[in-house]
Amino acid sequence: MLRSFEMTEASSIFPGFRKSVPMHNITIRPIQPADNAAIANIIRRALEEFGANHPNTVYFDETTDHLFELFQSTPASAYFVAEKEGVILGGGGIFPTDGLPGGTCELVKMYLSPNARGMGLGRQMIGQCLQVAKENGFVSVYLETMPELKKAMSVYEKFGFTYLTAPMGNSGHCGCDIWMIKHLSV
């Protein structure tokens, strides 16, 4: 069921998705136990880089160090890493966060290392997550972010995410004060 996601596929399924620089030898695959330390490091360094390493965010969340175990033990969740020649470039996933309305999952822990930005990889990973959300029967995808992550917000907007006035569910990340949702087409 899980497969490599092609950029041409994403551009035909998701409005706002643009092809970018070819990403030769980059594989998007499900997270493995050996990926935990690398992806936790990417997440924390990205938040530090943008000045978003606040309390009550994923920066301080213990599960950030154990993403493989978290996603393996949670039905209807999925977490993907992007890898090139054995080096993890980033990751992102979907998670059925407690308290979300039925049919809604959350786009979570979507971060890329600095050298992986600007080539369309983030868009490709979001496309992968949205496709898997749809395949898993979700009809909406929710996310939480911070104003410091402006570039990510513009990418989310291009995928059709719209802003909410209040949070949904119980992510435990009350340090995030921007909330967005996308309703998946059937």
pLDDT, tens digit (0-9, with 9 covering 90-100), for 77-112: 999 999 999 999 999 999 999 999 999 999 999 999
Determine contact, residues 132/2, Cβ cutoff 8 Å: yes
Alpha helices in the chain (DSSP H): 7-13, 36-49, 67-72, 121-135, 150-158
d(CA 90, CA 78): 14
Residue 13 clears pLDDT 50, i.e. is over it? no
| 3-state DSSP assignment of residue 129 | helix
Burial-class residue 181 by CB neighbours within 10 Å (0-12, 13-18, 19+): buried
> What local confidence, expressed as pLDDT, does residue 149 receive?
87
Cα angle, residue 150 at apex, residues 145 and 156 outer, rounded to 5°? 65
pLDDT, tens digit (0-9, with 9 covering 90-100), for 49-69: 999 898 888 898 899 999 999
pTM metric for this prediction: 0.84
Query: What are 59's two structure tokens?
Result: 């920066």
d(CA 153, CA 166): 16
For domain 7-183, give its CATH number from 3.30.70.3270, 3.40.630.30, 3.30.43.10, 3.90.180.10.
Answer: 3.40.630.30
Residue 135 clears pLDDT 70, i.e. is over it? yes
The residues pairing with 92 across neighbouring beta strands, listed in sequence order, are 80
Average pLDDT over the chain reads 86
